A and B are shown apart, each in its own frame.
Chain A
Amino acid sequence: MAKSGDEIVVEDPAAPASDSPAVTSNRAADVAVSLLLLAFAGLLGFDNWRTGMGWDATGPQAGYFPFYLSVILAAASLWGLAKEFLVRGQASGTFVTREQLRRVLQVFVPTLLFCLFTQWLGLYVASFLLIAGFMVFVGRIAVWKSLLTAFLFSLIMFVTFEIAFDVLMPKGPLESLFGR
């Protein structure tokens, strides 16, 4: 039978507060995305028109199919914009609160740095730095645990991909020290 007494409890001390003020509303985000998509559709539409969106002796030209897709994308974006302005009176939900945005940036910025570091130091060193840094500074986990976890994970990845499965990753100065 199930031992219903045991509970698994995981706390989240850095959780975003629920009463944090909103940064933007869903409507603002919706309008911004629609405008961006409209611009994107315009850009692609123009490029395909330049490539050739008509017909020639062999059938439709290279730009034909994507040109009409850009038109469809533009039309759907306009439809979305029109809809937003028609239902103006109604309240719209919160897109993201300040606290939530802080948390999202807490993971997005390290990821961005990780990608940069991968270019210079190779993927495995960058992976060690990302995991250790994230666990120490964001997760507030003991330093030795974080360093150990990061080292083991990077090592396991290295063994799995580089050695066992022959999938090669970008490498930097550290790996070249070991002659790989």
Chain B
Amino acid sequence: MEAFGLLVYGFSVLLTWKILALMMVGLVLGIFVGVLPGLGGPNGVAILLPLTFTMDPTSAIVMLSCIYWGALFGGAITSILFNIPGEAWSVATTFDGYPMAQQGKAAEALTAAFTSSFIGSLVAVLLITFLAPGIASFALRFGPPEFFAVYLLTFCSFVGLGREEKHKTIISMALGLLLAGVGMDTVSGQLRMTFGLDELLRGINFLVAVIGLFGISEILLTMEERLALRGHAASISLRTVLKVWKEMPRYWVTLLRSSAIGCWLGITPGGAIAASFMGYNLAKRFAKDKDSFGKGRIEGVFAPETAAHASGTSALLPMLALGIPGSGTAAILLGGLMVWGLNPGPLLFVEHKGFVWGLIASMYLGNVVGLVLVLTTVPLFAAILRVPFSAIAPMIVVSCAIGAYAIQNAMFDIWLMLLFGVVGYVFKKIGIPLAPFTLALVLGNRAEDSFRLSMIGAGGDMRVFWSNGLVGSITTLALILLFWPLLAGGLARLRGGLVNDRKGSAA
């Protein structure tokens, strides 16, 4: 097993006091961020990214990914104890988690949530360990047309499979791609869309936009709501943990099903949020007594949490192997890679073995340590919610500003962050999704470069995107996904028409 040997190598990279300490710091910060209202995975990672600027890439990615695992764990605490989902994907956890807490079974619900999260991540990490190197070495053969086709596939699947209104997804994506192009054109060196502003020469930094869109806008949105909360305090005893673990094997089908759904949707761009709902709904559909769901059934916590973590983790697979993030947070981590001076893509597995395998090993270790940490420290973190929001909100604003400024040492970026904060607030309110924007902004330049390189190589012939079996099938698949809603509608109508005809002829 080549992967196994490399994994051992990864652990050897990881096992230094410095990295282990950073891991703990990352996990604690992550849980903190996950518990706080108005923050969550992508925001937390974006705001804390500047802390890592002066670190070496391996320490940086280990700390950041641990913030992410911590945030995923932390989201479950508020969902179960307070009925407040910290993230879109924790919504399904509240369905059964909160009723359990109301019945005095908060400790069981929390243990179930943490353990199933752990299992979901573990399955996804195993998948990454054994699949990612293969995909990366396959992708080494990709030329510009293949890469452009893969980018196209990513963008099209967002439009075709997303739940939002199609034109709003397209708006978000086109805007992201346009803003990515501001500044100096990488191929010809020409300036474009700068309108004579010196500050725009550098282009619009991806992380500045993300901090504004997610951090600042989230504060504005949170302020709008009533901030009073009422929930349960809970501590977990070893007896409860063992009791839940003993029950767990009975639900192996649910756990396995949710892991599979999570992995699949996590790798597919745009699928991360759908995973937890799908995990929950399928568990409900296959259960014998459907009515007991939503009333505090432990399976209703297992199913969505496993799926959410499996998808959150497996979203890193395409990011590592192809340089294409599967979720908003993965996109931010990808932005981090570029800041640390790494070039995302399949070559990462060849040129930066220590980095890649250190990260993969840290996924195993981070999840184990995270599980122990949350199980033992729940009461502490739940108490954070007693801190009034009017103290937390300005601190988050300051952290966002520090983050935005640190990236390029530019005051202009703080203003840009504020502008993106307002844009994010308005977009979220009228239902323009932000994830496609984020993805487009981080991939925009690379997508354009690969398009133009393919065009230069082929002398301007668009048929280059169907020039061989591989690139042809990816491009075709992309177009099918783009028009999927229309195709699906057409097929349904066709089938409906046939049924009607048959009915007509029978009568």
Cβ of B405 under 8 Å from chain A: yes
Partner of A106, one of B108, B223, B432: B223
Q: Is A166 a contact partner of B54 (Cβ separation < 8 A)?
A: yes
Q: How far is the CB of A9 from chain B (nearest CB, A)?
A: 5
Q: Is A37 a contact partner of B175 (Cβ separation < 8 A)?
A: yes
Q: Is B398 a contact partner of A9 (Cβ separation < 8 A)?
A: no
Q: Is B227 a contact partner of A10 (Cβ separation < 8 A)?
A: yes
Partner of A2, one of B51, B104, B385, B393: B104
B195-250 interface with A by 8 A CB criterion: 195, 216, 219-220, 223-237, 239-240
B358-401 interface with A by 8 A CB criterion: 382-383, 385-386, 388-391, 393-395, 397-399, 401
Q: Is B223 a contact partner of A107 (Cβ separation < 8 A)?
A: yes
Given contacts A7-B232, A69-B177, A103-B224, contact A80 B167 (CB under 8 A): yes
Q: For chain B, which range describes its interface: under 10, 10 to 19, 20 to 34, or 35 or more residues?
A: 35 or more
Partner of B232, one of A6, A26, A51: A6
B244-271 interface with A by 8 A CB criterion: none
Given contacts A29-B429, A96-B429, contact A37 B188 (CB under 8 A): no
Q: What residues of chain B lie closer than 8 Å to A58, measured between beta carbons? A: 188, 456
Q: How far is the CA of A112 from the CA of B411 in the complex (A)?
A: 13
Partner of B414, one of A4, A33, A115: A115
Partner of B406, one of A103, A110, A167: A167
Q: What residues of chain B lie closer than 8 Å to A111, measured between beta carbons? A: 216, 219, 397, 418, 421
Partner of B193, one of A29, A47, A107, A135: A47
Q: For chain A, which range describes its interface: under 10, 10 to 19, 20 to 34, or 35 or more residues?
A: 35 or more
Q: How far is the CA of A135 from the CA of B230 in the complex (A)?
A: 21
Chain B residue at minimum C-beta to C-beta distance from A111: B397
Q: How far is the CA of A65 from the CA of B452 in the complex (A)?
A: 9
Given contacts A29-B430, A80-B171, contact A139 B390 (CB under 8 A): yes
Q: Is A44 a contact partner of B174 (Cβ separation < 8 A)?
A: no
Q: What residues of chain B lie closer than 8 Å to A64, measured between beta carbons? A: 452
Q: Is B231 a contact partner of A3 (Cβ separation < 8 A)?
A: no
Q: Is A51 a contact partner of B394 (Cβ separation < 8 A)?
A: no
B138-174 interface with A by 8 A CB criterion: 165, 167-168, 170-171, 174
**A–B complex contacts, Cβ < 8 Å, 27 sampled:** A3-B235, A7-B230, A8-B230, A15-B226, A44-B193, A47-B195, A52-B190, A58-B456, A59-B455, A62-B188, A69-B178, A76-B171, A104-B220, A106-B223, A111-B219, A114-B397, A115-B414, A115-B415, A127-B394, A134-B390, A139-B388, A141-B391, A153-B395, A165-B51, A165-B53, A166-B54, A167-B54
Known: A2-B240, A12-B226. 16 other contacts (CB 8 A): A1-B237, A7-B230, A8-B232, A8-B382, A10-B388, A64-B452, A66-B177, A66-B181, A66-B193, A104-B425, A107-B219, A107-B223, A110-B394, A161-B50, A165-B51, A167-B51
Closest 10 pairs between A and B when the two form their complex, measured CB to CB:
A139-B390, A4-B104, A6-B233, A12-B228, A59-B456, A2-B107, A73-B174, A12-B227, A15-B226, A62-B185
Interface residues of B (CB under 8 A from A): 50-51, 53-54, 81-82, 101, 103-108, 165, 167-168, 170-171, 174-175, 177-178, 181, 185, 187-188, 190, 192-193, 195, 216, 219-220, 223-237, 239-240, 382-383, 385-386, 388-391, 393-395, 397-399, 401-402, 405-406, 409, 411, 414-415, 418, 421-422, 425-427, 429-430, 432, 448, 451-452, 455-456, 460
